[in-house]
Amino acid sequence: MRAVVWLVEGTWQGCLDAAAQILPPDARVTLLHVTPSDVGEVAEAATAGLLGRAFRVHRPVRRFEEVADQEALEILKAAGGRLGRENAELVHLRGRVEREVVGAVAEGVDLLVVARDGDRSRLGPHSLGHATRFIVDHAPCPVLLVWPDEPPGIDSIPPPHEPYREGR
């Protein structure tokens, strides 16, 4: 069995805990972190807006990318330690997050583990962020969708709508 665990800041611990519970000991596990490609672009645009276009020659985007890469490496190392499997593959990609994750599971992956990353105060579709919704909808393999922490109670589901009645 081959599994990919998508690691996102703030939710990766829940993904690992779920994966550790269900994956067999001989499963090949890939821990995947994707840094959005627009991080550096946004930082550079903000710098240009604040300090002028002439400042772009210093390319501050490289520094932001270095920091993002270091953060990704720290998350991957911490995740590898938490999972406790010496053979876990650590993969860091950069690009459009949702497309990189789907591409990473395009061939030979039996399970993708992802966490809810939207509104975690209530049950329902808003508990998925944009990238996670795309991944769940487009992954060409089974997806294990986990709550990264304690899920909200069933009372968080909104009441059903009353049927429309004419004259009311």
Residue 104 structure tokens: 């990473």
Token output for 49? 């807006």
pLDDT in tens, 13-50: 999 999 999 999 999 999 999 999 876 666 666 666 66
Question: Is 115 in contact with 147 (CB distance < 8 Å)?
Answer: yes
Query: For the whole prediction, is pTM greater than 0.85?
Result: no
Domain boundaries, the chain: 2-38+69-152
* Class of domain 2-38+69-152 as given by CATH: alpha beta
For 47-72, give the secondary structure using H, E and C: HHHHHCHHHHHHCCHHHHHHHHHHHH
Pick from 125, 126, 124, 117: which is nearest to 147 by CA?
Answer: 117
pLDDT of residue 158: 80
